[in-house]
Structure 1
C-alpha cells in the first residue's frame, strides 16, 4: 500500500497521515501536484484512527459554541462540509460502503445537569431550525436498541436524518489507496525538523535522517504537529500552543449480536465530550467517548477513563452492554489549541503551513478544508475565509474569564452527576463555591496545583 519516490524533491510535503493530511494530499495529487504525505502507519495516539467518525454539523452544537462569531463560523463550515461528503465518499474506492449509521438520534436523558444537557439540546434544535435542516421529534420509547436503566431514561429525543457516521479505519485505508492511485507518495515516517533558511521553508528532516526538499510544508499531524513546530522556535512562540484532547473509546461485540441502525448520542457534556454509540456491523458497536485536556498526548487509555466510559454506556444506552465482550479499548488525542480554535493557513515562515487544532471537527471538515487549503497552496481564491483562524495570532478570547470559570465549574459538577455520585444535597453548592474561589484566585494562564487537581478531578468523573 505504501509507495516511495526515487526523488526526495516534492512541491508539497504534508506531515500527518490522518483524515486531514490524507484528504489534503489526495486533493493536491488529483490537481497534479508532486505531494508526499508523512506518518507512521499505525498512527500512535492519532485522533482519526480512534474516532467514531460521526459526520455532521449539529450534534455537537452547544450554547457556548453559538455565543461568538468563531463558534458560528465553525458550525457554518461543518454544515458546508456535510454537504460535500456524499460526493467525497463516491470518489473513494467503494466509498459508499464506508457509511455505518443511517442518521443520528440525540437523546436528552435524566443524567447530568439542566444547565448543560437541556440547554445544549435546545441549542441543537435551535441551530437546526436556523439552518432549515430536517429533523424529527421522536418518542424515546420508540428508539430501536436503546435500553437504559430507569434512572437514566431519556425524556426527549430527536432524529437527524442527515448526520451519519463512517468507519474511520476503513476511511483512512481508502484515502491512502486513492492518494497513491492519484500519484501521491506515502512515506511511513514522521518528520523531526523543519528545514528552512532565510525565512523560507526548504523541506523536512525525517526520523531516518533523510531530508525531503519541498517549497511548501503543511503541518497536519494533529497534536503531534507541535513538536515539529517547536523546531522553528521563533514561529512557535507566535502561534497558540497545541495540547491534547485525550479521549477513550471502546469497540464492543454485543451480547445478542445486534447493533442500532443509527448513531445514538447525548448532547455535548463535560469539556466537549458526548456519550455516543454507533454501529460498526457484524454485531459490533463503537462506544465513545471521554475528553480530558492534557499537556501531552497519550497512546494508551487510563483505567479510570475506560471504566467511566463503559459504566456510562451500560447505564445510559443499553443495560446488556455489561454482558457483552470488550473487543478493544483505544485512546486518541484530539488537537486542541490553548484558545480552542483551529490553526489554518501559512505562518510567517514562507512555505510553512498549518492545518490542525480542529479538536473533534477535523474528520467532518476534511473534504472542505482539503479543498480550501489546496486553493491557498496553489495561489487560488478560497471560497471560505480561512484567515479568521490564521496560525500567527494573539489567542482568541471569545469568552470572558468569568464565563470560562462558570462553564468550567458547571462541567465539573455535571461530570459528577453523570458518574452517578451520591452526595448530600448541599454539597454540590459548597463545591461550586469552592471551585469558583479557587479558579479566580489563580493568576490567568499560569498552571497551578489547583489546575492539576481540577484536571485529575475531571478525569475521574469522565
Structure 2
C-alpha cells in the first residue's frame, strides 16, 4: 500500500472543511494539505446562506451568556466576510462563477401567524442592533418588496436590516472549489477509513494511505461516530443532527432582499433568499435527530410550502420547483459549536455550528489556521473548545418552559385551533410543559438539553439517554 505523507489532513468537505483547507494552504504555499470528504446530505449544499447577524437574534439567546458570545462571533464574522470573499474569488480567478448571489438587505416580518416569541424577538433584534451599532429600521409592511402574503397571514410589523448580507450557497461552494484547485499544496481525495497512525493520523484509501501529524475533523453531523472509531476515550461533547428541508423555486418576480420571520418553533424562521440565477431559495424546516437523515419527509415539505405560499408570496403557487434541498445541520449536545484543539495531540475539531456554519466560516477558518500554524490562541474559539464541560446556561426548568413556548409557536404557525370552551388554550401549553418535564426527568443528570433540541427528549428519549450516559461516563 502506497503511503503519502501530508502535513494536515482535513476531513469533511462542507463549507467549514473547504474554508479551513483554503486558509491553511493559502497561508503557507509549502504546506501539504489533503482535503477528504464524501457526498452526503450535509448542511452546506442545502444552506440558505443568510449571512445574518441580527436576523438570528432571539430574546432567549440574549438572556444567556453563551448566546451573547455567539452573537459577538456572528458580528465579527460579518465584518470579515467582504475581505474573505474577495480573497477567495481572487484565488479562484476566472474559474469562479461570474455571480455568487452576494448582496445585502433583510426584511424581518412579524406576521399574523405567530406567537409572543416573534414579538420578543423583534424587541431583541432592536436591542442587539443598538448594542453593536448595526442599523435596524422599522418600516411599513406594505413597503416590503416582493411580499404578497395571504390576508390572514399578513405582516403586522416589519424591520429592515440593511447591513445583513446573503449569498447563493451553491455558487459559493463552487467558488471555493475553484480557489482550492488553484492552490499547489492542496490535494482533494475521496473519503476513506480514518485511523490513528503512531503519533499521527492515517486515511486509508483504495491503493494509498495518507498520513499526517495534524487532523482537522470538520465532518458536521457525522462527527461523533468518527471520533468514537478514532479514539473512544476522548471526552468530546457529542454532536447530533438537525435535519432541514428547503426548495429552490422559479419565482414570479425578482427578490431584491431576504424575506424572513424571526427564529421560532425550534427553527430559523421561514425565509426566502435571492439566488444568483434569479430564483428563490425558500427554507427551512428543522427536525432534531440523533443521526443524519438522507431524505426529506412529506410533513416537512408540506409545512414549508404552506408557510411560503401563505406568509411570503401567494404567487409562488404556480412557481416551478427547480431543486429540492435536504441537509443535516450539526449541533453540539449543549446547543453550541465545537471549535479548536482536543486533548489528543494534533486533533482539531470544527463542527456543531448549527445554522451558523456558513456565516461563521471566514472567522473559524482564519482563527483555526492561525492556531494550527502559529500556535496563536484564539479568543473567538476559546469558549467552544471540543472537550469542554457542557454549557450550563439553562436550568432544567427554564429549558422546559422555553421549549413549551416553542411548541406553542409551532402550533400557532400550523394554525391549530383548540376548542373555545373552558381553558383549552392554556391547557394545551400546560400539557406541553408536563410532557416536556417528564421527558427531561428521564434524562441523566449532568447535561441540560437546550430547548432547540427538546424534541429529542420526547421523540428519542431512551437513545438520547444512552448517548448522554456514554459521554458523562467518559474521562472528564
Q: TM-score, normalised by structure 1?
A: 0.90
Task: Determine if the alignment matches structure 1 residue 167 to structure 2 residue 168.
Answer: yes
Distance 1:253 1:95 in 2: 20
Kindly report structure 1 stretches of 4+ aligned residues shifted beyond 6 Å. Answer: none
Q: 1: CA distance between counterparts of 2:436 and 2:102?
A: 42
Contact persistence 1:243–1:335 (CA under 8 A)? yes
The answer as to whether partners of 2:73 and 2:380 remain within 8 angstroms in 1 is no
Q: Quote the residue 1:261 is aligned against.
A: 256
Matched residue, 1:16: 12
Aligned to 1:26: 22
State how far apart, in whole Å, the 2-side matches of 1:196 and 1:431 are. Answer: 56
CA distance, structure 2, for counterparts of residue 184 and residue 51 of structure 1: 29
The 1:374/1:411 distance shift into structure 2, 3 A limit, reads same
Structure 1 CA distance for aligned equivalents of residues 53 and 179 of structure 2: 26
Matched residue, 1:364: 359
5+ long unaligned stretches in structure 1: 1-5, 457-462
Does 2:247 align with 1:250?
Answer: yes
Q: Give the conservation status (yes or no) of the 8 Å contact 1:62–1:120.
A: yes
Larger relative helix fraction: 2
* Alignment equivalent of 1:38, drawn from 31, 36, 39: 36
**Counterpart selection for 1:346 from 336, 341, 344:** 341
> 2:442 & 2:134 partners in 1: Cα distance?
40
Equivalent-residue separation in structure 2 for 1:209 and 1:121 (angstroms) = 56
Could you tell me whether the CA contact under 8 Å between 1:99 and 1:164 is conserved in 2?
no
Distance in 1 of aligned mates of 2:189 and 2:296: 25
Do the aligned partners of 1:15 and 1:191 also contact (CA within 8 Å) in 2? no
Contact (CA 8 Å) 2:290, 2:456: kept in 1 or not?
A: no
Distance 1:387 1:343, change over 3 A: same
Q: TM-score when scaled to structure 2? A: 0.88
Contact 1:191 1:228 in 2 (8 A): no
Of 416, 427, 438, the match for 1:421: 416
**How far apart are 1:235 and its partner, in Å?**
3.7
Match of 1:459 in 2: none
Query: Residues 89, 49 of structure 1: CA spacing in aligned structure 2 closer, same or farther, 3 A cutoff?
Result: same
Q: Any residues of structure 2 matched to 1:224-235 within 5 Å, and which?
A: 224-235=222-233
| Aligned residue runs from structure 1 range 49-60, under 5 A | 49-60=45-56
| Residue 289 (structure 1) aligns with | 284
- Once the two structures are superposed, residues 266-297 of structure 1 have per-residue CA deviations (whole angstroms, 9 ceiling, x without a partner) of 11001132100011144410000011110111
Does the aligned pair in 2 maintain the 1:242–1:337 contact within 8 Å?
A: yes
Distance 1:330 1:444, change over 3 A: same
Q: Distance in 1 between matches of 2:280 and 2:290?
A: 30
Name the counterpart of 2:449.
Answer: none
Pairwise CA distance, 1:173: 1.3
Moved more, 28-37 or 332-341: 28-37
Counterpart-to-counterpart distance in 1, 2:107 and 2:207: 49
CA contact (8 A) 1:293 1:455 kept: no
The structure 2 residue matched to 1:215, chosen from 213, 216, 231, is 213
Name 1:441's counterpart in structure 2: 438
* CA deviation profile, 1:354-387 (whole Å, cap 9, x unmatched): 0111111111111111110011101332452422
Match runs of 1:2-401 below 5 Å:
8-32=4-28, 33-40=31-38, 43-91=39-87, 92=89, 93=92, 97-114=99-116, 116-197=117-198, 200=199, 202-206=200-204, 208=206, 210-236=208-234, 238-254=235-251, 256=252, 258-401=253-396
Aligned pair in 2 of structure 1 residues 385, 273: CA closer, same or farther (>3 Å)? closer
Q: Distance in 2 between matches of 1:321 and 1:408?
A: 32
CA distance in 2, matches of 1:313, 1:234: 44
Q: 2:473 — aligned with what?
A: none
> Contact 1:306–1:329 at 8 Å: present in 2 too?
no
Question: Do the aligned residues in 2 keep the contact of 1:335 with 1:356 (CA within 8 Å)?
Answer: yes
The superposition leaves residues 378-432 of structure 1 with CA deviations (integer Å, 9 ceiling, x where unpaired) of 1332452422111112211111101110111111121111012222143332222
Paired residue for 1:430? 427
Q: Distance in 2 between matches of 1:130 and 1:453?
A: 35
* 1:89–1:29 Cα change, 3 Å: same
Residue pair 1:12, 1:217 contacting (<8 A) in 2 also: yes
Per-residue displacement from partner, 1:160-202 (whole Å, max 9, x unpaired)? 11112111111111112112212243434224323143xx3x2
- Unaligned runs of at least 5 residues, structure 2: 446-453, 461-476
CA contact under 8 A between 2:168 and 2:274: conserved in structure 1?
no
Q: Is the 8 A contact 1:194 1:229 kept in 2?
A: no
1:6-28 deviations in Å (ceiling 9; x for gaps): 97211111111111111111111
Q: Aligned partners of 1:388 and 1:340: how far apart in 2?
A: 13
